[in-house]
Amino acid sequence: MSEKIEMQLGVDVGGTSIKGAVVDLCTGELAGAIRTELTPETATPADVVSAIGRIASAVGWSGPVGVALPGVIDGSSLRHAPNLSRAFEENGALACLRSAESANAVLINDADAAGLAELTYGDAGLDRDGLTIVLTFGTGIGSALLHNGDLIANSELGSLASANGRFEEIASGRAISTEELTPVEWARRAQPFFDELEAMLNPSRWVVGGGLSESFDRFASRLELSKPISVAHLGVHAGVVGAAVAAGGRVRAPAEAAA
Ligand code: BGC
């Protein structure tokens, strides 16, 4: 009989920082402190491997690591990752992350990781009817589509273009901080994004994660939406938790397993 993994290290590689923690897969809670490394400017695969190694040794972890990356995992390369080095786009670029001798990583897109965490431990998992759109507002805008309880990976909705540039360039968490946008100014830019997605995909609800989850009320209250919007249940840690789930799977708590 195979033994269930109950703890799993998850690492979320962002354009600004690389965060990791051991996650309790029964509850989705962090089982230890978050370790944070600054993402080096235009981080290469080797930089990311080193950062994962430092985080793993800081928490005393050996074995596979779930790693969320800010781009589309396409075989052995990473596409659509403007916040990492272009070296990630080369064929074979992800091999050093997956290699058992270095990071030993199981890879997932960062917003998909956040979506997987919501599906597994948040309210989105209860909603088996219709489409939930999870949007993460951080250095870029990530997206995850949760349809009837399944994750549809690699949606990349943040790259939708507006008259003034891609929405992830004009309405991301980074745009808010570098341009010092007020909630009203941000909503003026973000509203057309939500309107476009609503017209195209007809979601039944929205979930907002990433850095913006910390100031969700101030910003989201400025949007005019016909469907409910809520903050990610796992907040800014959703990517770390989802990365851990991608590597270890969910472990049912004894009470649930017996039900
Ligand atoms: C990437 C997405 C990612 C998002 C959030 C975008 O630049 O293309 O894959 O999910 O940033 O990090």
Count of positions (residues) in the chain: 259
User: What's the N-to-C CA distance of the chain in angstroms?
Assistant: 21
In a domain, 179, yes or no: yes
In the chain, count of helices (H) and strands (E)? Answer: 9, 15
Query: In angstroms, what CA-CA distances link 184 with 53, 61, 176, 191, 207?
Result: 41, 44, 11, 10, 19
The domain that holds 43 is classified in CATH as: 3.30.420.40
Helix (H) / strand (E) containing 207? strand 205-209
Around ligand 1, the residues with Cβ closer than 6 Å are 70-72, 80-83, 109-111, 136, 138, 140, 142, 156, 158, 168
128 Cβ contact list (under 8 Å, min separation 6): 148, 149
pTM for this entry: 0.94
- Same-domain check for residues 243 and 198: no
| Parent domain of 129 | 113-117+124-235
The count of domains in the chain is: 2
Per-residue pLDDT of the chain in tens (259 residues, 90 and over written 9): 445 679 999 999 998 899 999 999 999 999 999 999 999 888 999 999 999 999 999 999 999 999 999 999 999 999 999 999 999 999 999 999 999 999 999 999 999 999 999 999 987 665 677 899 999 999 999 999 999 889 999 999 999 999 999 999 999 999 999 999 999 999 999 999 999 999 999 999 999 999 999 999 999 999 999 999 999 999 999 999 999 999 998 776 555 555 5
Rounded Cα distance, 242 and 237, in Å:
9
Cα-to-centroid distance, 252 and ligand 1 (Å)? 30
Query: E-strand spans in 94-140?
Result: 105-109, 131-137
Residue 1 lies inside a defined structural domain of this protein: no
- Which atom number of ligand 1 is nearest to the Cα of residue 136? 5
Give whole-number Cα distances, 112 to 43, 57, 144, 161, 259, in Å.
21, 26, 5, 21, 29
Any domain includes 31: yes
Residue to substitute in 84, 139, 154, 166 for testing ligand 1 pocket (most ligand atoms within 8 angstroms of CB) = 139
